[in-house]
A and B are shown apart, each in its own frame.
Chain A
Amino acid sequence: MRRDLSEKSVGRRSFLKVAGATAGGLIVGGVAGYLLNPGEKVWTTVTETTTKTVTGTATVSPTAVPWEQYFPRADRIMKDWELKWTGWDPTEYITTTDWVRSIDWGKVKSKYAGQTVTMACEGVDISAPQTFQPGFQGISGASLQLFGIPPETLHEKLMAEFTAGTGRYDTAELFGAWAQAYFPYMIDIRPFAQTYGVDLKDIHPAFRMMNTGPNGELLGVVEDADLHSFICRKNLLDKAGLKIPTTWDEVLEACEVLKPIGAKEGWYPWITYYSAKGFLTFWYWGTIAVQFRDVTYTRLDSWEPNFVGDEEGGVRALEIHKKLLEYSPPGSINNTYELGREQWLAGLGAMATSHQCWPRQSYDPELSKISPLNTDNIIEIRPYPKGTTNHAPENITTTYLGIPKTSKQQELAFLWSVYMNSQESSALMGCHGTGVESGFVSVISNPKVWKGQPAYKNIWETAWTAATETFVYIPEAYAIEEAAGAEIYRYLDGSEPSAKKALQNAEAEVRKILDKAGYLKTGIKPPPWTVEDWCKEHNEVNPKP
């Protein structure tokens, strides 16, 4: 059975079209739209175990096993237009390696048939696990229960469940930025990986570093691996006689040229991915600030926050951030991810920086007004604009599927997490435009996959230079980002006229939190914050193209 992953997004887009038409429809739609997304959903277990049986031409199956019908495969996930667009043979696997195809599921089934495993999912991404639920239930004989939790409360909810030790969830989606807060409550998945021949080293170090503990223990399998790129509508730049910018100075110059043209044609030079007060401000500024290598979130030897930068690169980044807001639609200072995405896909901007989702969704003719498939738009994906350095360090966010120590189904939970997040399934999710992106080296480096998710090419080429998007990986990361973001925001909204002062205030706030939490006394070194440093510390090879 094929499930439409972008159902919700499509619903929202067509809803927007309605918004232009009638206010009455809006009111009804507003209610309906909300009702579609209630607090917590529980899906009843699907007992029928068949996925789509392949019809037509003979099934070509590399490993002829009885449970092949449950393997993730393009024709079982993708939409028709997507299959046509990629030009793949829909009955062939697009990945070279996939651990789902090598696990002995017969043995698994005899052990776990009839048992139940539960999962806590972030509300908006519920379609991802749902897609793989029937397949997993078929291949393991177990049943899977999904609990959707609204994203804005997921973190608190999980922490409350974990600290209370309820054992309610056997596996949970964990946001990498806050991974350190979860560590005490999660198992190390490496032993299970060993047992089932799951190659965890295939996870790119850029997406592994946040979820690795001090002793190398791994929190979970990567489910969503996000990295920023620069995207633009080349056709608009061409028309204005502009080359695709590669530095921030060029970006701002291009904005200045595009501004009057956009004003006439009803679009803006820039779309702000997110900037709203708090951690989003910190992240957006951070993605720019890391292009100026002198900025270190903490001085690596002393925990001393350094947002201003030795050469004041942080100040420069904050000024760029504020300038970009002026080239964005009004109100972008408070943009959240959702609003920025609406604006980009509605064709309100010429350039933006974003994770992989925007580029890929730009192509979707049902989702996007700028799809190259049915308009004359040309979507270009490039490395992040440079600051003062030659390398453009990227900025990472990840989601992991972790297994709490309190789970009574740890092994089954592990099997579900690797089934749902295998190379093939993650590649398909990325190419399906769900916004859930693959973090495996074997996937993002695979040119065949690039046909379905063009952003991966750029990700593969730049991931090795990446730095963390968040503050260093300590449990207080969120509090720190929130506090620092609020201070930085004051420069953006004008209540603090000096960018430098705003950053210094942010440093002071962070110092206070670190002091309270005791870091300044312990003398332990902060963890590394670039992929290069991390690989050195863990004796790993940093995969480069």
Chain B
Amino acid sequence: MSKITLKNITHIYDKRVKAVDNLSMEVDDGKLVALLGPSGCGKTTLMRIIAGLIYPTSGDVYFDEDRFTDIEPERRNVAMVFQFPVVYATMSVYENLAFPLRAKKLGEEEIKRKVKEMAEFLELTPYLEMKAGKQNAAIKQMTSLGRAIIRDARCVLLDEPLTNIDPHSRLILREKILRYRAEKKQTIVYVTHDQSEALTLGDKIAVMNNGILLQYDTSRNVYERPASSFVAYFIGNPGMNLIECAFKKVGSKIVFESDGIKVSLPYELAKEVEKETSGKVVLGIRPEHIELSKRKVEEGMLGTCVLFEDIGITKVLNLQLNGTKVRAKNPEFEVEVGEKLYIRFPEERLRIFNSKGEIIL
């Protein structure tokens, strides 16, 4: 079990597609990092670089303090589960699980014991003697997971392991991963584009877009203090409301104004925005932090509900404030479409981004 260090990794496919862009990060020994990002942002590429299946265009891969960039994948001792279930189709499930152990030239007795244990753990025992190629996607992925975790690898890379299997099996598989992690303290990079998965599983979250690592932090920080407007919008369901505003200093306050929006913050708190020469910033507020009232409230803005979605545990409201659309989330609030509401953005929940999307406040 090792620490993974990536230093200035860049990978360009076919001299044209920049899949990973000058990416550096560290995954501490025994931690689970959830790598999150939209499809095509370079997650798989990064995993393959760590595994050694791709030689990066530039940059280096370290395990603990040793440089592994030039080491063949078969000598890296990294385990990986692929996005699409990969099994050795002609072998039995047993042989699949035994494969990495045979590669390590373990004794037959030890292999037998380990495979049995693993099969038990993953509930694969009934399938052991069957051809792996003939199983369904879930069993295949379970086999594939077993193959990855049956040996003591430096780290385990899970590339969207749940994406291509049915929802029921997904739950079982996730549970197995969690239990494995709890027992083994293995270094794990868990790729997903499902943020709830990322937020619940990860010790740390890494958010990527267009090959760039946007934020690498604890899930709490990623949620509460997104490093950029992209992260702010990407994390959360729905994502953070982002409203472009003009601002000006009025007395001891700075007032942010847009069509139908008017918010003010104490000058002392928000004076950083004054560095923004364009005179414009982006105001961010999470839907679940918006306060709603049917009665007039102080500093409340008037809006109309144009869409009301009851999604069970919570309700999502689409509100129109003149020319600006805002989404709010509230588990209790009941409202008719067309009703007028008073809306308030609590000061402490407001985030401010500059025009490049970087967080200011």
Determine whether A and B are in direct contact in the complex, meaning some CB atoms lie less than 8 angstroms apart: no
Residues of B bordering A, CB below 8 Å: none
Residues of A bordering B, CB below 8 Å: none
